[in-house]
């Protein structure tokens, strides 16, 4: 692929928790700004690719193993075990062919996009990904965390029944679910195919291709919507901006040029990068804006931009 791609990917979260910290609350900076990590965005994409039959290396998987007591335990696979599992390798320690390992790594769709740090015995490999996704900051000013108490159908058997605790022991335990009332995250991303030039010279990859970009583009616009866990059921893809440019054009983080406002009828996303992109229009091949037209209005004066329904992919 002989071009660069810059853009922004937008996630809406309604009465859900897109990316929690270790306390269970939506992640925030020290200044109190709500944000989502790049890992939170990549994970649903990896799950979607895995369900489509693609090889995905960096994702949790489990296996059953008998311990010393003869008990069968459910354990997560290590990186070595995950590699052996998806590439049908008997024992990675015995594989001294670094070229074969690199060929395998580049055949995994998540590695091909996001790179890898593969530090296993005898093989210390670092691959900087062609696709880099930044932190996604919430642009909605009225975001608040909501804490819900959940009644369990089961008694807490760990509680000891005593003279003063008898009623507590007989009661069902309480759980807590923490969500945001509403949040709108905007992630910047950049794709630089030349990152893999040295690996192309080694003959372990054909480089980042148009087909790779197509798979990334498709998953980036639907993965959050498709990933319906209890905490993510209210999360969905609502916006995407793709700016395809000459291979030697360098653009800044485009998410900093986005404003989000909401009224009683529709939300409004305003793109304030029109002057920048219009000035460079002769070096820009294509600009595509995908959004949810049923809930959002996009204000943009980018000359080459085409607007599409993010669900149907039909031009708006």
Q: Is the pLDDT of residue 2 over 60?
A: yes
Q: Is the pLDDT of residue 166 over 60?
A: no
Mean pLDDT computed over 3-12: 98
Output the pLDDT for position 31: 94
Dig out the tokens for 137 from the structure.
């900051």
Mean pLDDT computed over 15-27: 93
Output the pLDDT for position 39: 96
Q: Is the pLDDT of residue 274 over 70?
A: yes
**pTM of the predicted structure, to 2 decimals:** 0.91
Q: Is the pLDDT of residue 167 over 60?
A: no
**pLDDT, tens only, 193-245:** 999 999 999 999 999 999 999 999 999 999 999 887 766 788 999 999 999 99
Residue 155's pLDDT band (cuts 50, 70, 90): confident
* Distant-in-sequence, close-in-space partners of 227: CB < 8 Å, separation ≥ 6: 43, 44, 47, 48, 235
Q: Is the pLDDT of residue 37 over 70?
A: yes
Mean pLDDT computed over 298-304: 95
Look at residues 181, 136, 150, 176 and name the one whose alpha carbon lies nearest to residue 27.
Answer: 136
Cα(26)–Cα(185) distance, integer angstroms: 12
Question: Is the backbone of residue 32 left (phi > 0), alpha (psi -120 to 50) or beta?
Answer: left
Q: Is the pLDDT of residue 297 over 90?
A: yes
């Amino acid at each position: 692929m002989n071009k660069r791609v810059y853009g922004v990917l937008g996630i809406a979260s309604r009465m859900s928790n897109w990316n929690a910290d270790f306390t269970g609350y939506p992640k925030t900076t020290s200044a109190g700004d709500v944000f989502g990590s790049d890992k939170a965005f990549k994970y649903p994409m990896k799950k979607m690719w895995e369900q489509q039959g693609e090889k995905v290396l960096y994702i949790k998987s489990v296996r059953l193993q008998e311990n010393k007591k003869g008990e069968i335990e459910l354990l997560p696979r290590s990186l070595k075990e995950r590699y052996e599992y998806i590439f049908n390798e008997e024992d990675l320690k015995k594989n001294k062919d670094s070229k074969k390992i690199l060929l395998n790594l580049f055949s995994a769709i998540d590695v091909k996009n996001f790179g890898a740090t593969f530090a296993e015995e005898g093989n210390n490999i670092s691959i900087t990904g062609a696709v880099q996704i930044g932190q996604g900051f919430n642009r909605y000013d009225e975001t608040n965390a909501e804490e819900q108490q959940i009644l369990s159908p089961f008694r807490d058997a760990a509680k000891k029944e005593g003279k003063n605790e008898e009623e507590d022991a007989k009661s069902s335990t309480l759980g807590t679910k923490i969500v945001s009332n509403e949040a709108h995250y905007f992630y910047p991303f950049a794709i630089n195919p030349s990152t893999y030039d040295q690996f192309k010279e080694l003959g372990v990859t054909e480089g980042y291709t148009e087909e790779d970009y197509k798979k990334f583009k498709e998953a980036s616009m639907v993965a959050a919507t498709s990933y319906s866990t209890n905490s993510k059921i209210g999360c969905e893809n609502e916006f995407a901006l793709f700016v395809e440019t000459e291979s030697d054009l360098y653009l800044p983080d485009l998410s900093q040029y986005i404003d989000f406002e909401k009224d009683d009828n529709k939300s409004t996303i305003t793109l304030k990068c029109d002057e920048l992109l219009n000035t460079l229009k002769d070096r820009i091949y294509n600009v595509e804006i995908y959004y949810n037209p049923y809930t959002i209005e996009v204000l943009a004066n980018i000359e080459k931009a085409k607007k599409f329904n993010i669900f149907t992919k039909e031009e708006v």
